[in-house]
Chains A and B, each alone.
Chain A
């Protein structure tokens, strides 16, 4: 499937408003109907359809042999998925919360990620691990984490994070079709609507957001291609997931003509888009919700410094969560919201 074909199908497809969960469900449904080797497994994904309803109705439609509940054992879920992939299936395991993925890390890091390499291509692990991640829903320290940097540090894993229903569907289809293991983190704060960072304002839905228009049928968004959310000249903002919308709102409120790049895929990273934008704007702000030290932002800052140094007019700014566990009652004190982002923007604009 070339990108031209994808573009054609997009242009002719009729779109309808879906939230991100419905878009993910749509992608899973579509891939299960197209490819009999796609199977979905995970805790509560079967009859019940998942705690966030992302797999709703799939078991009824495709049967228990292809959509089934699993024991509460993430090592087993991912380990079995690796074995299924070795057989020739294309498993899409769900880890109920990214915070629960750690018992499955050995199977991801030592097994799935290295299968192609260590067997010189004899065995591959086309496994797409879906998992809701991130905070902002009063999930406390075990339902709020953003562990993406752990996975970007592993050779052989791709890490994908959508920021809209439209992208979630196209990226998930591409992830499932990819012959390498993909970690697909779904920002659960924006499952039902975009979030501008103001925790006091009423929740928005995806209905009025252009990213909530999801084309019918098959389309894919290639992994490794960023999306320019907004063109601008004052600074480049590198961001992904929930923080795309927070950044957009803060910069709009401040009236800063920023170029906002939604990375969509952290590995492989769309370095061309990053370089092109920073070379144009000369300033760069990196934002993520995850803890700061050794976060993916550190990688982004290093890359920008290495590759765009002579275009930079100011030190690269980095806005992140704090280096603490995600606190329950102080959730909004932890969250890198409008104040933290706003001050970083001010510092950049002063230079």
Chain B
């Protein structure tokens, strides 16, 4: 059957042959970066519709960009959340602490204290300012780059490091890849590692809260890359169908490992614009502007809490570092991107704002950074007392078989016996650590 052979289609007049389009990012290693083609709307010019408005009223905001902080660091326009200086300083501190934590953990991985780490450098505002706008008991279904939420909610740094080291004090018993935290008592869902699975789960949690007549809402975060997953469509459909009290966030940091946002469809439409097709509210926000992020999340949270429906928020930001400690971004993108990024650095921008208000200065900032570095160092030292990855086997072997089910069935009991038997041969001097 010749017609089924590749390339065997009939000639069709003067039609050119079909061409496959494969997206290509603007800049590759060594290229000069020019972001002048990127549309960055003026801060303060975006209208702020009523929180209970028809979803269609937010359509212009799906292509616009909600911005509050202007080039001089002033908070302008209807989205200015008018936060008091003390709150602004706490927000700045949480963002700086997140960065200090990332820096130390990154070095810890390089020093062999653990296998893996993921920084959120440049994206701190998306998680920290969001957490400030949420109620403490709202449920967060995070991806792997929302450590800022845990830090803002006061989850002990030592617990985070224990998890990263998979040590004997790790509340997850050394089972999860570093940074895949779970903190139920802080309203922070167990991080999967499979992308976007948490999105429909967040919607389900929100539906349950509505079924029970609760007051808590749910929120979830994914990257722009994983918005290509089917789970995104499942979540958006369910959120829309059941008017679920949920805020769905897409952190558009431009890069999914080495694939730029074009491979998730970002060349044709904004990620916020996907809200339009589902008939839910959508907001596109300057993700490096903590006040804009706060204002957008506050708007969406209030909307959800008032039974006015779900919102999709695109946080337009930039992944300033590699995807993870296993990634080398210099192999696929221009190093200039980070320097030229037109939305600046979220910490520097909030600092500039506080300075412009006369509520902050360079000396206090430098002192804060020193203090935070010390705080993180202290936490890592404390955690190291519980062991680091690779230095000993920190968890009793039987724990490997626990929690597969609530109770151990016979086959897991047998396998546990085998593991313990092997331990006696492979590590005869191993002793269970007693607290």
Bound-complex Cα distance A158 to B411 (A)? 13
**How many whole Å from B370's CB to the nearest CB in chain A?**
35
The contact string, 1 if C-beta is below 8 Å from chain B, for chain A 289-305, is 00000000000000000
* Alpha-carbon separation in the docked complex, A268 to B409 (Å): 6
In the complex, A120 Cα to B173 Cα: how many Å? 7
A311–B199 CA distance with the chains assembled, in angstroms: 52
Across the interface, which residues of B come within 8 angstroms of A81, CB to CB? 204
Whether the Cβ atoms of B200 and A118 lie closer than 8 Å is no
Set A79, A91, A178: member contacting B197, Cβ < 8 A: A79
Contact of B190 among A123, A156, A180 (CB under 8 A): A123
Q: Residues of A contacting B189 with CB < 8 Å?
A: 86, 123
A110 neighbours in B (Cβ, 8 Å): 192, 194, 197
Evaluate contact between B234 and A84: CB separation under 8 angstroms.
Answer: no
Instruction: Give the chain A neighbours of B8 by CB distance below 8 A.
Output: none
Residue B18 is within 8 A (CB to CB) of chain A in the complex:
no
Partner of A76, one of B205, B234, B406: B234
> Which residues of the partner chain B approach A158 to less than 8 Å between Cβ atoms?
405
Residues of A within 8 A of B411 (CB): 268-269, 271
Bound CA span A169–B333, Å: 59
Q: State the Cβ distance, B239 to closest chain A Cβ, in Å.
A: 10
Q: Is A75 an interface residue (CB 8 A)?
A: yes
Judge whether B233 and A73 touch: CB under 8 Å. yes
Residue tally, chain A, CB below 8 Å to B = 46
If A79-B197, A106-B194, A180-B405 touch, whether A122 touches B184 (CB-CB below 8 Å) is yes
Query: Can you name the residue of chain B whose Cβ is closest to the Cβ of A69?
Result: B241
CB distance from B415 to the nearest CB of A (A): 10
A71 x B175 contact (CB < 8 A): no
Contacts A75-B234, A76-B235, A79-B231: A89 and B208 contacting too (C-beta < 8 A)?
Answer: yes
Task: Tell me whether A75 and B200 are in contact in the complex, defined as CB-CB below 8 angstroms, given that A122-B182, A156-B404 are known contacts.
Answer: yes
Q: Are A111 and B171 in contact (CB under 8 A)?
A: no
Please, how many angstroms separate the alpha-carbon atoms of A156 and B406 in the complex? 9
CB contacts under 8 Å to A, within B155-183, are: 171-173, 175-176, 180, 182-183
Q: Is the CB of B204 within 8 A of A83?
A: yes
B202 at the interface (CB under 8 A from A): yes
Whether B235 and A79, one on each chain, are in contact in the complex, defined by CB atoms closer than 8 angstroms, is yes
How far, in angstroms, from A287 to B135 measured CA to CA in the complex? 55
Q: Mark B208-229, 1 if CB is under 8 A from A, else 0.
A: 1101100000100000000000
CB distance from B147 to the nearest CB of A (A): 17
CA of A113 to CA of B171 in the docked complex: distance in angstroms?
Answer: 19
A157 nearest CB neighbor, chain B only: B405
Nearest CB on B from A118, distance (A) = 6
Which residues of the other chain, A, contact B182 by a CB distance below 8 angstroms?
118-120, 122-123
Cβ–Cβ contact A83 & B202, under 8 A? yes
Q: Is B207 an interface residue (CB 8 A)?
A: yes
A119-B172 in contact given A75-B200, A76-B234, A83-B208 (Cβ < 8 Å): yes
- Tell me the smallest distance from the CB of B92 to a CB of chain A, in Å: 31
Q: A155 and B205: CB pair below 8 A?
A: no
Task: Name the A residues within 8 Å of B208 (CB-CB).
Answer: 39, 83-84, 87-89
**Residue A342 lies at the interface, judged by CB distance under 8 Å to chain B:** no
Do A80 and B203 contact each other (CB < 8 Å), given the known contacts A88-B208, A103-B230, A110-B192? yes
B237 near A73 with CB under 8 A, answer yes
Minimum CB–CB distance from A65 to chain B (whole Å) comes to 5
Contact A65 B406 (CB under 8 A): no
Q: Enumerate 21 A-B pairs (CB-CB under 8 Å) in ascending A order.
A: A65-B211, A79-B197, A79-B204, A80-B203, A80-B234, A82-B201, A83-B201, A87-B139, A91-B204, A106-B197, A106-B231, A110-B194, A118-B180, A118-B192, A119-B184, A123-B182, A123-B184, A124-B406, A156-B404, A269-B411, A271-B410
